[in-house]
Amino acid sequence: MADQNLEQLEKSLRDIRNRFVLLTSPHRPALWNFCLKLTGSPWDAEDLLQDTLLKAFSRMALLGQAIDLKAYLFRMASNAWIDQKRHLKTSFGDLDSAEETASDQATGFQAESREAMEILVSTLPPRQRVILLLSDMFDFKAYEVAGMLDTSEGAVKAALHRARGSLKKLQTETPELHRARTGLTPPDPLISRYIDAFNRRDPEALVALLDKEAVNEIVGDWEEHGTDMMKKSSLHYWSLEEGRIWVEYGTLFGKSVLFGFREHDGHPKVLAEILSLQTAEDRVVSQKWYFFCPELLEYAASLLGVPAKTWGYTFDQAYNEDGTLKT
């Protein structure tokens, strides 16, 4: 009886969560871009986005009032990131400090351009970075930013003035931002076997490489615990897909991954998913499957120089009632 009640609760929560996803979907591209500018890494951006959405969803029942959803999400992401920096005690110094950093190797890069600001903003103290991004890149008013950060409008304007002043004084060379490679040779034979099984579309061969209790996290939408569940769910739907599907070993911002490609709509190679595997004792013990993460996929595709094909944020958005992937 307890199991049945839990199953009913899970279904109800999933239905409510799907409604929450639809409600927040219009704001997610801008929110992910904001998280990327804050963290400087697509992996940290995705983690911050998912943490923000999870926290927002869990607190919805506690609000008891109408809110500006976009501002609410940006506020949560901002405060979560500032808290992370405080907790880690990074070398940024006091979050409210007006101290500015400068490069000794100036090359005349103009801070007025959008690209320059995206690069240079990463040098600012965390609180100034948040305020500058919210104000100058995401068009929030000073009073809105003040409400997000629980401070005064005057403090926001002062921090914004300091941040803009820092950027005007700072000159630097453009760093190499395109940190993505694919088509590499895996250093681990287990990963090579995984790639071979995947590219042959052989679910049984894949399962043989997984620990029986392996966890498959389909980021942002679903978790599977154990290979029995994977065979009933994700591997089953994967086996129904039509057309050519393959993965290539590579790196994205220093992380080893498998880039999943498709032939789609006349394009011979589009990015459709990214897999991150954790191995131990010649078995895959966990994997993160970035399939319902459109912003991450589009960003990675742009670095690789290929198109991206995405299917939304949830299983229900991506699949037909018969379990086939929507075209």
3-state secondary structure of 170: coil
Q: What is the DSSP-derived secondary structure letter of residue 174? A: P
Tell which of 143, 169, 195 closes a domain.
169
Residue 3, in any domain of the structure: no
CA 303 remoteness from chain centre: 15
Question: Is the CB of residue 275 less than 8 Å from the CB of residue 291?
Answer: no
pLDDT score, position 87: 66
Q: What range defines the domain where residue 73 resides?
A: 10-169
In which band, very low, low, confident or very high, does the pLDDT at 214 lie, cut at 50, 70 and 90?
very high
Residue 25, in any domain of the structure: yes
Do both 165 and 190 map to the same domain? no
Question: Please, what is the Cα angle at 239 between 237 and 245, to 5 degrees?
Answer: 110
3-state secondary structure of 224: strand
CATH number, domain of 274, equals 3.10.450.50
pLDDT score, position 1: 64
Do both 102 and 147 map to the same domain? yes
The whole model's pTM is what?
A: 0.77
Do both 136 and 198 map to the same domain? no
Question: Is the CB of residue 217 less than 8 Å from the CB of residue 287?
Answer: yes
Do both 17 and 160 map to the same domain? yes
Do both 33 and 152 map to the same domain? yes
302-323: pLDDT as tens digits: 999 999 999 999 998 989 888 8
Do both 125 and 226 map to the same domain? no
3-state secondary structure of 309: coil
pLDDT score, position 123: 63
The separation between the first and the last C-alpha atoms of the chain, rounded to the nearest angstrom, is 40
Rounded Cα distance, 323 and 92, in Å: 49
235-274: pLDDT as tens digits: 999 988 888 999 999 999 889 999 999 998 889 999 999 9
- Kindly report the number of other CB atoms within 10 A of residue 187's CB atom: 9
Q: Which two tokens stand for residue 162?
A: 């300091």
Residue 1, in any domain of the structure: no
How many domains does the chain divide into? 2
Mean pLDDT highest for which of 82-96, 121-135, 294-308? 294-308
Residue 326, in any domain of the structure: no
Do both 190 and 55 map to the same domain? no
Q: Strand 283-290 vs strand 210-218: parallel, antiparallel, or unpaired?
A: parallel
